[in-house]
Amino acid sequence: MLNIKQIRESPGQFKAGLARRGKALADCIDRILELDGQKRSFLAQIESLKAEQNAAGKRIPMMKKAKENTDEIMAQMKDLSQKIPGLESSLREIGNDLEHLMLSLPNIPSPDIPEGADSGSNVETRRFQEPREFNFTPRPHWEIGKDLGILDPAAAAKVTGARFHFYKGQGARLERSLYNLFLDTHTQNGYTEILPPYMVNRESMTATGQLPKFEEDAFKLVGTDYFLVPTAEVPLTNMHRQEILSPDDFPIRYCAYTPCFRAEAGSAGRDTRGLIRQHQFNKVELMTFSLPENSYNELDILTGDAERILQMLGLPYRVVTLCAGDLGFSSAKTYDLEVWMPSYEKYVEISSCSNFEDFQARRGAIRYRAEDGKTKFVHTLNGSGLAVGRTVAAILENFQNADGSIALPEALHGYMKCGRLTREEGC
């Protein structure tokens, strides 16, 4: 959430920041200031009337004791008691409108990210390893998975619906091996492993920015106010919701494996085959709570930790800095890690690493006590370390052989107990 006090003091700064995302957003600042002015006006009126009410309430016993006539002051009290509820009702309505608008506005982009309206203006920062040159035509991972007998979307479509998968045999083992490798690596690098709930409440979804704007993308449990997690970012961030932390606690680094559930509203027709865009997929998430002055250094650390996994697996990838128009709702700055997919003949996102600055912390009241004794908002960061299904897809495509077998990355040999996937022998 943006800072309403700072909006009052520097509305032009916020208009300019939001205009980098889209002009219509900048126009919302005027409406916020209008509602904020009305809210403050109603508050002042209510406080003034209540002060009159309290003063009159103190005078009445004194007047009665002095045997003075109280008819006039009693009439004033009755008039005040009738006015205040109406003003309070208007205040609640304006307050709700203001809160909804504030919760619907995205974060302000960091000044150092590229300008642009969409992904076409994103800037490549660096690459690791050039894509492999095949001496045969590489096949897509969904065909490879079917031929190896390790992926079965048809069975999943029968049991559940489109955009779900059964992993079978060594496919299931590969998926499990990957998230174990991810968790083992991240915990060795200082992250505390968390196994969170797979359901969260409305307050948690609101704190991280999924609600109210993206409710259509969430899976809500009928008859409850619980949602299936779209990412472990939600439970991990909310572990410290409404808490005041000590400066000595930072940086706080968590990693967590969860299945993730997304309705993918508005994505009809996109990546309908394979593992790239699923309603349910596994992911290992990295989460950092940081002091504000250190958060951009922490973003580099977190991004490097996600990159380390891709390097261990020997997968070609690139790091892209997102432009202002392509940023996620809560992010101030994001690096996307994009892995090379031979069947697509392009790089495909496998991780987004973001600094939210104090945007989520304001929504969730996550603070720390500074040296001057005042409470301040922490900075939150997160990134995928990595999306497991997309990693499976990348391995199948990048390490496929002409005979249909898969040469597994060495980092997985100990987990898989073999170095090669074949149809006949399995692993």
Rg (the chain; Cα; Å): 27
Residue 206 Ramachandran class (φ > 0 left, ψ -120 to 50 alpha, else beta): alpha
Out of 173, 262, 362, 367, pick the active-site residue: 262
Residues 6+ apart with CB under 8 A from 399: 406, 407, 408, 409
Strand partners for 107: none
Mark whether 349 is an active-site residue.
yes
Residue type at 326 in one-letter notation? D
- Is residue 188 packed enough to be buried (19+ CB in 10 Å), middle (13-18) or exposed (0-12)? exposed
Annotated catalytic residue, options 295, 362, 390, 397: 390
Contacts of 282 (CB under 8 A, 6+ apart): 175, 179, 257, 258, 259, 260, 387, 388, 389
The Cα–Cα gap between 29 and 32 comes to 5
Marked catalytic residue, from 110, 290, 352, 354:
352
Strands (E) across 62-165 are located at 123-128, 151-152
Q: What is d(CA 223, CA 216) in angstroms, rounded to the nearest whole number?
A: 17
Catalytic residue among 277, 308, 318, 420: 277
DSSP structure class, residue 250: P
The tokens describing 121, both together, are 């203006």
Catalytic residue list contains 31: no
Cα(387)–Cα(352) distance, rounded to whole angstroms?
Answer: 10
Residues 331, 324: Cα–Cα separation, whole Å:
10
Establish whether the linkage from the previous residue to 212 is cis, with ω within 30° of 0: yes
Separation between Cα atoms, residue 290 and residue 252, nearest integer Å? 7
The reply to whether omega before 35 is within 30° of 0 (cis) is no
User: Is 423 tagged catalytic?
Assistant: no
**Residue 281 in 3-state DSSP?**
strand
Write the DSSP symbol of residue 117.
S
Q: Which among 139, 241, 349, 405 is annotated as catalytic?
A: 349
- Is 352 catalytic? The answer is yes
Write out the catalytic residue numbers: 262, 277, 349, 352, 390
